[in-house]
Amino acid sequence: MITASLVAIACYASVAKASPAAAENDAYEMAVRQTQAGFTIYPGASGNLQPGEKVRLLMPVTSGVTYTFLIGVDERVGDLDLYVFDEQGNEILVDDRRDRRAGAKFVATYTGTAEVYVLMNSTRTSRATGKFAGIASWALLVGTRGGPTQERRRPVGPGDNNEKARDAEPKESQG
């Protein structure tokens, strides 16, 4: 009886952890339609966040190139948002739907750097305990199409690819 309980607890503990691999798989499932539409898809960044935390990434962009950002998640994510701003802090796009995944595309009108924020609004509640899951995983894929050359560029965060920018709030939409 005790052995069966310990096995059940061990199985639950392994399932209850955040899963970066599941988030990447989810993102690549989202990317199928984008590749069929002519986008070249490549990994951008991934990580784990708690509710209320966000990550800031810097993405080089080239004028005339269409970009798509796809954020896949593991089973623990409740609601996740995506914000993209230009170098002057003007909003390019926002996906703040009350949804587990996020994704959007735009055509760059300038050559420079875009600021990309991934915000974890909430995680799901645990079926076993009824409490919020805490840490959840996300994975960003970046797709490009068109422009003078179809370059593969990875987002870069100051210091590293997953610097948490907890104090930097996404700016309000202009206009």
- Looking at residue 26, its pLDDT comes to 93
Return the ∠ at Cα 104 (arms to 126 and 138), rounded to 5°.
30
- Residue 133's Cβ-count burial label (10 Å; 0-12, 13-18, 19+) is buried
Cβ atoms 157, 164 nearer than 8 A? no
Rounded (5°) CA angle 165-102-88 = 50
| Choice among 37-41, 81-85, 134-138 with the minimum mean pLDDT | 134-138
Structural contact between residues 65 and 109, judged by C-beta atoms closer than 8 angstroms: no
Q: Tell if the pTM clears 0.85, that is, is over it.
A: no
| CATH number of the structural domain 18-145 | 2.60.120.380
What confidence score (pLDDT) does residue 122 get?
Answer: 87
The model's confidence at residue 75, banded by pLDDT at 50, 70 and 90, is confident
Q: What is the pLDDT of residue 47?
A: 93
Query: Would the pLDDT of 154 be above 60?
Result: no
